């Protein structure tokens, strides 16, 4: 089989900074016509979004999909709740983790895969300030090593 075409629309870099991502899930999202057209134009943001499990269904809240310019009366509210399409056993597992262990569920990225909009969500545990500082220190050290390595190649 051929590789599936994936086009990343929105990324949530803040999630990797604020949380330890334990598990990742790929799920579909229930959208209306003008919303998917707007996403295909790249007008979507998940920076402030989170996932909530309510009555056995997963919902993404705070995901901003800008109104489609040519949509007029068919446009939906940009910040409305959108249902995520997951299997029941995945939803039950996530709900159990969130209630029992104090995890949270955050969207990591929105992308188009074979023409369908997908959301990658992650089961996340919050970082403390010292964890964030340690990550920044590691990233700076890696950049410095790469810079030194490039310098030795030019000589």
pTM: 0.76
Residue 12 · residue 107 · CB < 8 Å: yes
The 10s digit of each residue's pLDDT in 114-125 is: 888 899 999 988
Residue 78 · residue 67 · CB < 8 Å: yes
Residue 125 · residue 103 · CB < 8 Å: yes
Which residues, in sequence order, are bridge partners of residue 119? 27, 110
pLDDT above 70 as % of the chain: 94
The 10s digit of each residue's pLDDT in 24-46 is: 999 999 888 888 888 888 888 88
Question: What mean pLDDT is predicted for residues 53-76?
Answer: 81
Rg of the chain, C-alpha, whole Å: 19
For residue 88, name the pLDDT band (cuts at 50, 70, 90): very high
Full set of structural domains in the chain with CATH: 6-126 (2.40.280.10)
Triad 120, 122, 125: Cα angle to 5°: 160
Tokens of 109: 């990225």
What integer best gives the mean pLDDT of the chain?
84
- What pLDDT is attached to residue 1? 47
For residue 74, name the pLDDT band (cuts at 50, 70, 90): low
């Amino acid at each position: 089989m051929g590789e599936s075409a994936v086009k990343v629309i929105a990324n949530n870099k803040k999630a990797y900074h604020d949380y330890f991502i334990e598990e990742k899930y790929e799920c579909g999202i229930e959208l209306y016509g003008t919303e998917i057209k707007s996403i295909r134009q790249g007008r979507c943001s998940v920076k402030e979004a989170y996932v909530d499990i309510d009555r056995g269904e997963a919902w993404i809240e705070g995901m901003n999909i800008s109104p489609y310019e040519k949509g007029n009366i068919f446009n939906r509210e940009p910040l409305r709740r959108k249902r995520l399409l997951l299997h029941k056993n995945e939803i039950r597992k996530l709900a159990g983790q969130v209630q029992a262990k104090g995890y949270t569920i955050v969207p990591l990225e929105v992308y188009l895969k074979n023409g369908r909009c997908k959301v990658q969500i992650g089961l996340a545990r919050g970082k403390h300030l010292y964890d964030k500082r340690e990550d920044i220190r590691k990233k700076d050290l890696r950049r410095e090593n790469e810079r030194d390595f490039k310098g030795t190649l030019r000589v």
